[in-house]
Amino acid sequence: MFDFLRDVLTQIAGIFPAPYVHIGGDECPRGEWERSPAARARLNEWGLTRISELQGRFTQFASDVLREHGKRVIAWDEVLETHLPDDTIIMNWRDAAGVGTAVDRGFQTIISTHDQTYLNYYQADPKGEPVALGKPTSLKDVYTAQLEPAKLSEDKRGLLLGVQAQLWSEYLPDAASFQYMAFPACAPSPSVPGAPRSRAGRSSRSVCAPTCPAWTHSASVTAPGLR
């Protein structure tokens, strides 16, 4: 398995020039490992005690391979449940408290908390919206979200690399569906954490205008507030 992982990551590192590689790490079920004699044997071989440390070993190996090629690992916040290389970048998605957990441990962090930045959630009452996921998250919810912990020292705030919005596509069959969910909510989502929210009361169009690409203002884009 590790030979395969090295081959894949080496090829990826050679194809993409960016200094980062996101390896995932989220929603990794451990039930089979708990029941597996082979997994238990690996724990003993490596001197580990917790099943979660198997994922940690995998993450460490991936990080070592990518570092050889001048890359840094980005991973979802589940990887915090085990030991990590110090240069791992955490992408926090599960809950807002995870941002504080990550920076408290000294990790650079990207804020992607799902109930604030997932654009594939319903944007209004589901009865009048296309099929989506999650609880309704309106443009106002996105634009006024408190993305960083309320009390954060300047040193820890310096570990925040920024915000990333996600738009998962399970229920987006075409480009029009993507546009509907993405705009204008994507405009405020990547704002710098802690930025003033003085524009929160303005209309969707006025919020979107300075930050969305020009093509989003065309008649073909049917997102809420841009019709």
> Tell me, what's the pLDDT at 38?
93
pTM of the predicted model, to two decimals? 0.83
At residue 168 the predicted structure's pLDDT band, cuts being 50, 70 and 90, is: very high
CA distance 116 to 23: 22
Are the C-beta atoms of residues 134 and 154 closer than 8 Å to each other? no
| SS3 state at 109 | strand
Bigger pLDDT: 189 or 58?
A: 58
Point out the least confidently predicted range of 151-160, 165-174, 195-204: 195-204
pLDDT, one tens digit per residue, over 132-149 is 998 898 888 888 888 888
Cα-based distances in Å from 188 to 41, 107, 167, 192 = 49, 25, 14, 9
At residue 202 the predicted structure's pLDDT band, cuts being 50, 70 and 90, is: very low
How confident is the prediction for the chain on average, in pLDDT?
84
- Helix 37-46 / helix 52-68 crossing angle, nearest 10 deg: 60
Could you say which architecture CATH assigns to the domain 2-172? Alpha-Beta Barrel (3.20)
CA distance 149 to 166: 20
At residue 222 the predicted structure's pLDDT band, cuts being 50, 70 and 90, is: low
- Per cent of the chain over pLDDT 90 is 63
pLDDT, one tens digit per residue, over 32-49 is 999 999 999 999 999 999
Are the C-beta atoms of residues 5 and 61 closer than 8 Å to each other? yes
Beta bridge partners of 162: 110
Q: Which two tokens stand for residue 186?
A: 């994507």
Q: Which amino acid is residue 11, in one-letter code?
A: Q
